[in-house]
Amino acid sequence: MTPLVDLGPHVSFIVAAYAIAVAIVAGLIAWIVADHRAQLRILEDLERAGVTRRSAAREEI
């Protein structure tokens, strides 16, 4: 069976470069998504505890 793409004798360098780039980008995305969820959770906890901004209080009135 012939490979889909022939990457020649330096295949390990090419695959490693793409794999590391994907890993770094995936880590960055995971960190940003996790941070977003964490901040929303903390905000919800604070608001449930009755801590709100003055502007939010005015909006409710």
- Please report, for residues 11, 12, 23, 35, 38, the alpha-carbon distance to residue 8 in angstroms, rounded to integers and kept in the order given: 6, 9, 23, 41, 45
* Binding of residue 30 to another protein (CB under 8 A): no
Minimum distance from residue 42 beta carbon to another protein (Å): 5
Nearer to another protein, 1 or 49 (CB): 49
| CA 20 to each of CA 6, 13, 27, 49: distance values in angstroms, whole numbers, following the listed order | 20, 11, 10, 43
Residues in touch with another protein (CB under 8 A): 4-11, 13-14, 16-18, 20-21, 24-25, 27-29, 31-33, 35-36, 39-40, 42-43, 46-47, 49, 51-53
